[in-house]
Structure 1
Amino acid sequence: MREAAPADRATTAARPSLSERRKEALRLDIAREAVRLFVSQGVTSTTGDQIAEAVGVSTRTLWRHFPTKESCVRPLLTAGLDAATDQLRHWPPETGLLDFLTRSCRHGTLPSADPAVLDLIRMTPTEPALRAVWLQAHDDALPVLTEVLARRSGGSADDLRVKVHAATVNGALRAAAEDFAVRFADEARASEEDLAACLHAALHAASEGLPY
């Protein structure tokens, strides 16, 4: 029997198991049903039992995956951030951050705008519990961005300058998502070019520094 080559073993190790993929698929189903119910009847009026019933799982299963009904939406919020941080691992040395992320968005390398995510982001200003989940998702992404920028600069993730730059990029990504969600609230489907324009504007403002 042929032994797996190192590249084969690396690919196998990097690929999530079937149970992990099923778990992630279930978490996304729960997130989408939670958003649908939150939008149609409000967060306060929605219960964990209703979300579980909409997905077709027991309430006990729901609470095994999420501690609160509001946290059910987290997989949708983290998906875009995870994709952006993963994309940064393939950031070419000769390309600037602004150009790379904008180009990735235009070419469809980053996820396209998900209507459920946009609905969710539009709710965060008036729903404190959802806002907390949204901000926590960005806070959790910050160490990853810091490591990426540290490697890029040859510096340390503990360097204050690197931390500030990572926080700036993180804030720009959040501001771009929120601006896009509000600006295209009445559009049936905004294009990748529209999303890229919002992202480019936010990162460009961040790269200008403080003009005050």
Structure 2
Amino acid sequence: MTAARGRTSRPASRPTGRPPLTDERKAAIRLEIARAAVDLFVTQGVAATTGEQIGAAVGVSSRTVWRYFPSKENCVRPLFSAGIDLIADCLRRWQPGQPLEELLDQELADEQHELAGPDRATVGALVRLTRTEPGLRAIWLQTYDEAEPAFARALGERAGLPADDLRPTIQAAIFNAALRAAVEHYAWHTADTRPDGATARTELAATLRLALGVAAEGVG
């Protein structure tokens, strides 16, 4: 049986739906969600904040929020890890004989860096919440725990040491503890103040600079 005359072939189907998100856009969405979560946590507390509220603040559904984060406490993880990523990069590029604080100053001069938070004026408030919110405290400590191997790799690469060498591992633990102590010190000591963005940036940078300097000098 032959095909009917005059019948035209069906056009090739075209892809439908939205194009896939780029990695850059996904990272931007994660950061938007994180910023919204922090604002809500600081103003009304973690328990009173819902996924629906976080999503509404960003203009996405709660389903999108849960697609990026397994829990509302996890939403702040990109903010906790921002400063850690910066320090790991500094350690990797730290030249022998160069003061680490000097390299950090160069990095912090770049306004594009999101140093440990969405708005440096709210970093203290966010970290202070980790004192009373067990879920946030767990994310805070887990972030630093996961950062330590990155610090060790950076220090090992700098010194040309093998991956299993103990020395960069110990040095990484020192730097890790110094960073966490510095940010917490900053948070506790700004509890009664509300510095503007520029002031908060300067004060937090100075605290980190001091901590890294002390860690670089070592004990004794």
* TM-score, normalisation: structure 2: 0.77
DSSP-derived class of the 2:94 partner: coil
CA RMSD across the alignment: 2.4
Q: Pairwise mapping of residues 1-212 of structure 1 onto structure 2 (< 5 A)?
A: 19-101=22-104, 103-104=105-106, 107-108=109-110, 111=114, 114-185=120-191, 186-189=193-196, 190=199, 192-207=201-216, 209-210=218-219
Which consecutive unaligned segments of at least 5 residues does structure 2 have?
Answer: 1-19
Deviations 1:58-77 (A, max 9, x none): 11111110000100111111
Amino acid at match of 2:190: F
Matched residues in 2 for 1:193 and 1:116: separation?
Answer: 13
Amino acid at match of 1:188: P
Matched residues in 1 for 2:52 and 2:149: separation?
Answer: 35
Seq. identity, %: 48
Deviations 1:171-190 (A, max 9, x none): 11111111122323414222
Shift of 1:138: 1.3
Give aligned pairs, total: 194
Matched residues in 2 for 1:27 and 1:122: separation?
Answer: 22
Matched residues in 1 for 2:22 and 2:90: separation?
Answer: 25
Which consecutive unaligned segments of at least 5 residues does structure 1 have?
Answer: 1-16
Matched residues in 2 for 1:191 and 1:60: separation?
Answer: 34
Amino acid at match of 1:104: Q
Bigger-Rg structure (1/2): 2
Shift of 1:44: 0.9
* TM-score, normalisation: structure 1: 0.80
Deviations 1:128-153 (A, max 9, x none): 11011111111222111101111222
Which of 41-50 and 115-124 deviates more? 115-124
Amino acid at match of 2:109: H
Q: Structure 1 residues 86, 208: CA separation in 2 closer, same or farther (over 3 Å shift)?
A: closer
